[in-house]
Every structure is written in structure tokens, then in C-alpha cells.
Structure 1
Amino acid sequence: MRIGIMSDSHGNTMAVDQAIKKAGQVDVWLHAGDLIQDAEYLSIVTGKEVVHVAGNCDWPQNSVPEEILIEKAGHKIFLSHGHNYGVKRGNSDYYRAALAKGADVAIYGHTHVAEIDEKKNCLMINPGSVSHPRDGQAQSFMVLNFQGQEIKVEHFHI
């Protein structure tokens, strides 16, 4: 199973389109917030399931959760924008929350900086910003490729 991950698209549907094209075959997409409308656009243009959460720029949004725990490919994935866990100061609080929820994969955004952090019992993923990166790198997104219990993370720049 291949799961596409993006965050912080901020209305840049051209960047979303580029990510879709570059990702290749994806079974489901996860959007870690900022902007909900982009996640809805992603669903329309791909025809795929898109699981998404509200970010700090989506407030107030009562119909979309700020965090969610889902199961895909035998893994529990905790998805949140991350702003409620202070991820700009580091991912330690988010890591503890993910473990408390029983997740073995935790995905967040908000920082606009891509990160793959293989902590004990939980793979922490920030795909960066598909629209406005803050790390001097190109716009980015990621794809999780699940092969049994093994997870391969593919990091793409557009």
C-alpha cells in the first residue's frame, strides 16, 4: 500500500497537482492541514480517499477534526497538523501523544520543514510544505510505501 502525505498547501492547487503527478500510484492520501479546501480538491482530482485534519489556518472548522487515529496496512497512524503540540519547538510532545494513542506512525505539518524521525516505537513524519517550505529546500511531500511491517519513506521535491 502506498500512502501519499502532504501538508501546508495553503491554496496552491498547482503544487498539489504537481505532487499528484510526481507521486505516481497512491492508494490513499493524508493531508495534515492548512487548507481543508486543498484536501477536498485532492480528493476530487484523484478520486482517492483523502484523510485530512484541520490546521491552525483552518480555524474555526467544526466539521473536520484537528487530529485523527486511523489504521492502514496494519499500522496505527496518528494524523494532526501539530500546532496544538508545539511542533515548532520539537516533536517530543507529539511523539508522547502518538505513543499514548497506540500509534506506530505519527504525521504532522505546521513547521513547513520536512522531517523523518525514527523514534523508538514510532516513526515521526513531517512531509514539509507542498507550497511554502521554510528550510531553504524545494516544496515537498512524502509517500509511505508499506511492504508488510516494513515502511519505506519516499521524500519528493517539486
Structure 2
Amino acid sequence: MNQVLIVSDSHGLTEEINRIKRRHHVNEMIHCGDSELDFDSDELSGFRKVAGNCDFDLKFPNEEVITIEGLTFFVTHGHLHNVKSNVMNLSYRAQEVGANVICFGHTHIAGAEQVDQQLFVNPGSIRLPRNRPEKTYAIMEWESSNEIIVNFYTAEGEKVHEMTYHASL
């Protein structure tokens, strides 16, 4: 089983990130920006990470393209793609780089949605959630692209069952 931990918008939290990292044993970890930490901080070690609008360390790239066990991920914060309006710009950019999984943050609104052959995942925020009371992050798991599950967890590690999303790319 392949598993990717996805967090975003932690806005300066450190202990919470460390607890989440210790709690899960996954293949990869992604931080979708607005960590407000230094790129080389201990808390972010092991994460693939991108710059958010509140990240000022110039070492952060604006986007990453990562291939993990047959799936290509496009990772960005979202502020440069106007994600508070819609995800069309994200979709176009993901097509340009050949990605079928899009991980982003910025809105602080947790959710997953498949549109055609693209899966959009926003893990929400472990500091300042919007639209739901839970501070969240996500774990995406799959054995094949035909059966992808995105689970959402509270910052305390409790699964938010009603948010589980199933996809097939």
C-alpha cells in the first residue's frame, strides 16, 4: 500500500507537525505551503515542500512535480493559481506538467474531488481551518490508480470518516 501524508497551512506550528510525522509511517510527505518555517527546519525534514504566500525563505520552490508509484503529483500552494475562485488554473498547470494528482492549500478548506482524470486534494489547515471545525491533514493511499482513497485526520490523529474520498484515475 502506497501512502502519502499531505499537510498545508500550518502557519508556524512545530510540535503538531512533529507529532503528525511520528504518528504515520508513509512513503512520502508533502507540505503544500504556508508552514512559515525555514526551508531547512527540522520539522519540515522529509517533506516535499512548496512556498505559500506566508513563506519567505527563498529556498522554497513555487511548485513541485513528483512521481510516486505510478501517480504524478503537482504540488503548489495555490495562491499563484487563484484557487479561492476555482481550480481551473490548477487543472491547466497540472495538464502542462503531466500530473493527475493535484495537492494544494491556501483556502484552508479540506476536501478531495476528482474531475475527469485529475484528483484534487486540499488537506485543509492544522492551524486555522475553514468550513469545518476540525484542524485537518490528509493521507492518500493506493495500490493501483484504480482504487485511491483519501482519508482526512484531525490534528490529534482521529479519522474524519465522513470526509473519506474514493477515486479512480
Counting matched residue pairs gives 152
Structure 2 residues not aligned, in runs of 5+:
156-169
CA distance in 1: counterparts of 2:19 and 2:133, whole angstroms:
16
CA distance in 2: counterparts of 1:151 and 1:57, whole angstroms:
31
* Pairwise CA RMSD: 1.8
Per-residue CA distance 1:13-64 (angstroms, 9 max, x = gap) = 2332343355x221211000012527733344xxxx31000110013x3322
2:163 maps to which residue? none
CA distance in 1: counterparts of 2:8 and 2:38, whole angstroms:
10
Q: Confirm or deny: 8 A CA contact 2:8 2:31 kept in the other structure.
A: yes
1:11 maps to which residue? 12
Equivalent AA in structure 2 for residue 154 of structure 1: N
- Relative to the length of structure 2, the TM-score reads 0.82
Q: Confirm or deny: 8 A CA contact 1:8 1:33 kept in the other structure.
A: yes
CA distance in 2: counterparts of 1:79 and 1:17, whole angstroms:
21
Could you tell me which of 122, 126, 130 is aligned with 1:130? 126
Q: Are 2:51 and 1:54 equivalent residues in the alignment? A: yes
- Relative to the length of structure 1, the TM-score reads 0.87
Paired residue secondary structure (2:108)? coil
Q: Are 2:106 and 1:110 equivalent residues in the alignment? A: yes
Q: Confirm or deny: 8 A CA contact 1:36 1:52 kept in the other structure.
A: no
Could you tell me which of 75, 80, 86 is aligned with 2:76? 80
Q: Are 2:142 and 1:146 equivalent residues in the alignment? A: yes
Q: Confirm or deny: 8 A CA contact 1:36 1:53 kept in the other structure.
A: no
Structure 1 residues not aligned, in runs of 5+:
none
CA distance in 2: counterparts of 1:2 and 1:62, whole angstroms:
29
CA distance in 2: counterparts of 1:70 and 1:139, whole angstroms:
26
CA distance in 1: counterparts of 2:30 and 2:101, whole angstroms:
12
1:20 maps to which residue? 21
